[in-house]
């Protein structure tokens, strides 16, 4: 594989084509309001923490992380999840606080390149870059890729599912464990996405015409639909993984 992994600090133009990864996530995931803060602020502020894998066809995978000031033991307690670490990172920057660890908040492989081991290569590269930049800990609010197939199973139960070799059933968690990471807790409300029912219909193609849980392709848990108020809310749980690097 003719592949290079480079940082945005070295090639800030490498993600100039916005549609390279557009189909890698369900549409509704692009409507998390906190994430827009991340892409507008944190990526620009910490390009050395943002890695992109490139081959002859252009970018094929990316991994975005940033330093976070966290005085507690990451094996014991961590922020609420994905949205919370983004807000915390921006607060740290505004307050002039130096990072004590690094949080990995996005790892994306282009859909036409999945199944070739790119996620492991990228995770290894993030671990190496984190150590190179002087940090000892890398934490990640992991979005288990197999969980959408089991939306009604509580995340804590799902995380406990293992194969005969003892590794997690979930493919993305398995990559983290093989790389040396440890599951240290759950993030029950890691990402929150809310919208009108008209917006949810446009994002998913589903009718959203009955109050209660709605199972949406790509969602880890059902979306709560409230017909009376014309609103839907998705609260995504993640799994905290800690890597010592």
pLDDT, average across residues 99-116:
94
| Residues ≥6 apart with Cβ < 8 Å to 57 | none
Please give the pLDDT value at position 49: 96
Tokens of 5: 């992994």
Q: Is the pLDDT of residue 219 over 70?
A: yes
Q: Is the pLDDT of residue 16 over 80?
A: no
Residue with the bigger pLDDT between 1 and 194: it is 194
* Rg of the chain taking only CA atoms, in angstroms: 18
Q: Is the pLDDT of residue 93 over 70?
A: yes
Q: Is the pLDDT of residue 204 over 70?
A: yes
- CATH for 4-190+238-244, among 3.40.50.300, 3.40.718.10, 1.10.10.10, 3.40.630.30? 3.40.630.30
Give percent of the chain with pLDDT exceeding 90: 87
What residue ranges do the domains of the chain occupy? 4-190+238-244
Please give the pLDDT value at position 37: 75
C-alpha distance from residue 12 to each of 21, 43, 44, 61, 167 (Å) = 17, 10, 9, 15, 37
Residue 84 phi, psi (nearest 5): -65, -35
| Residues ≥6 apart with Cβ < 8 Å to 124 | 179
145-177 tens-digit pLDDT: 999 999 999 999 999 999 999 999 999 999 999
Residue with the bigger pLDDT between 235 and 90: it is 235
Please give the pLDDT value at position 19: 67
Provide the pLDDT confidence category of residue 18 given band limits of 50, 70 and 90. Answer: low
Please give the pLDDT value at position 162: 98
């Amino acid at each position: 594989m003719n592949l290079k992994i480079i940082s945005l600090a070295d090639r800030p133009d490498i993600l100039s084509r916005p549609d390279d990864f557009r189909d890698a996530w369900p549409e509704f995931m692009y409507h998390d309001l906190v994430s827009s803060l991340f892409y507008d602020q944190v990526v620009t502020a910490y390009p050395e923490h943002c890695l992109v894998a490139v081959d002859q066809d252009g970018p094929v995978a990316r991994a975005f992380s940033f330093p976070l000031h966290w005085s507690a033991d990451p094996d014991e307690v961590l922020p609420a999840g994905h949205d919370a670490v983004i807000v915390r990172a921006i607060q740290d920057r505004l307050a002039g606080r130096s990072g004590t660890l690094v949080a990995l908040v996005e790892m994306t492989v282009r859909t036409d390149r999945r199944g070739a081991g790119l996620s492991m290569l990228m995770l290894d590269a993030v671990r190496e870059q984190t150590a190179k930049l002087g940090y000892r800990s890398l934490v990640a609010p992991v979005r288990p890729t197999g969980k959408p197939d089991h939306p009604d199973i509580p995340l804590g139960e799902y995380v406990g599912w293992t194969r005969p070799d003892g590794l997690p059933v979930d493919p993305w968690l398995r990559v983290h464990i093989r790389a040396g990471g440890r599951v240290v807790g759950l993030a029950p409300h890691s990402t929150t996405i809310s919208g009108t029912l008209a917006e949810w219909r446009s994002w998913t193609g589903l009718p959203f015409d009955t109050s209660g849980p709605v199972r949406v392709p790509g969602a880890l848990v059902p979306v709560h639909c409230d017909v009376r108020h014309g609103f839907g809310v998705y609260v995504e749980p993640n799994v905290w993984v800690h890597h010592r690097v």
